[in-house]
Structure 1
């Protein structure tokens, strides 16, 4: 029987999304979230100042056959929140307080890459810019997320 604190509880989820071995202990309490798995997001790099992940267009399109605008934001918020949480460190957690995106061009197939770069890493706020590009390096959208950093409550 596995409980919420068993490190192997999310092993399949971590394998599917490419979570580096050194971060699995940190994520073993909550995993990466079912939406990340459903969207097909794969982490290539995870850090407080820079994170990179890919997401397939297929399965994440809107009625016109292009990548759904909300999918752009899911990838952006995932990368920004993970980066902010890594910055916050042990004993603290992050809560998204603002996210916005500008869509520059549509894409109907292939793989989208999100590159997250820190704009501000403070003691109470972390802000990141996330740029989504297609397989040819063309910018598809630009997003920004701000996370508030909070102390964990001990019960």
Structure 2
């Protein structure tokens, strides 16, 4: 499903000196039809009450979903995948450690892609469920 010209090293290079890199998002697994990344839960991703900021979860979801779309493009030199809509249901608070996002496809069309992103804690308990729609331009 994904363009085979990419590996974990190249995915992690995309985030360098951008928001994903600044908050510590790291890609950890690239499967045939899924991607997993992790994000630290620390002062960079906390909200003022000392728990994971919901916006940080959304950043993780959009980061891995957008890169999944990019890996599906037929002509990545001339096409770009951009976020069109994202929603998130925050299910559980996290104070420290890591959260893990796994993205899988719901729909990969010529003009839009729809992704399911599940974010879990270190005990594999659900933290946040997201759906991302990207538009191919």
> What TM-score does the superposition give when structure 2 sets the normalisation length?
0.85
Aligned with residue 134 of structure 1, among 115, 121, 124: 121
Structure in which a larger fraction of residues adopt helix: 1
Matches within 5 A, 1:1-155: 20-21=8-9, 23=10, 31-32=14-15, 34-46=18-30, 49-59=33-43, 60-89=45-74, 90=76, 91-150=78-137
Secondary structure, aligned partner of 2:80 = strand
> What TM-score does the superposition give when structure 1 sets the normalisation length?
0.75
Q: Higher RCO, 1 or 2 (CA under 8 Å, sep at least 6)? A: 2
Higher Rg of the two aligned structures: 1
Instruction: Tell me which residue corresponds to 1:7.
Output: none
Q: CA deviation at 1:48?
A: 7.5
Where does structure 1 lack aligned partners over 5 or more consecutive residues?
Answer: 1-18, 151-155
Q: CA RMSD in A?
A: 1.9
Give the length in aligned residue pairs.
127
Where does structure 2 lack aligned partners over 5 or more consecutive residues?
Answer: 1-6
Secondary structure, aligned partner of 2:117 = strand
